[in-house]
Structure 1
């Protein structure tokens, strides 16, 4: 019983770590996209609304 509980705990911890890493990477990607869009948007808008 102890081995199964340890394996279950390890699996839950692994899933939690993966979820946290995914959220962190998604936030980093979104911040990078927003920074790039901050440079592109004014040029794009100027072309579309000129």
Structure 2
């Protein structure tokens, strides 16, 4: 049986929120990098007139 300790619980919630925010930012940056690569490949292909 675990006992509930509000300060400890709140600290853990804050840590989880911070971790979630960091992971969200990392995922967003990965998505931006992916979109940049796709756009560069698309623009290269159509800049040469290849269809």
Please state which band the TM-score falls in when normalised by the shorter chain: 0.7 to 0.9
Higher relative contact order, structure no. (Cα contacts within 8 Å, ≥ 6 residues apart): 2
Residue among 26, 30, 42 paired with 2:48:
42
* Alpha-carbon shift at residue 40 of structure 1 (Å): 1.2
Find the counterpart in structure 2 of residue 16 from structure 1. 22
Runs of 4+ in 1 over 2 A off after TM superposition: none
Aligned-residue CA RMSD in angstroms?
A: 0.8
Q: When the two structures are aligned, how many residues end up with a matched partner?
A: 43
More helix by share: 1
User: For structure 1, which runs of at least 5 residues remain unmatched after alignment?
Assistant: 44-50
TM normalised by structure 2 equals: 0.78
Return 5+ residue gaps in structure 2 as ranges.
1-6
User: When the two structures are superposed, what TM-score results if normalisation uses the length of structure 1?
Assistant: 0.80
Cα deviation code 1:9-49 (max 9, x no counterpart): 00000000000000001100110000000011233xxxxxx
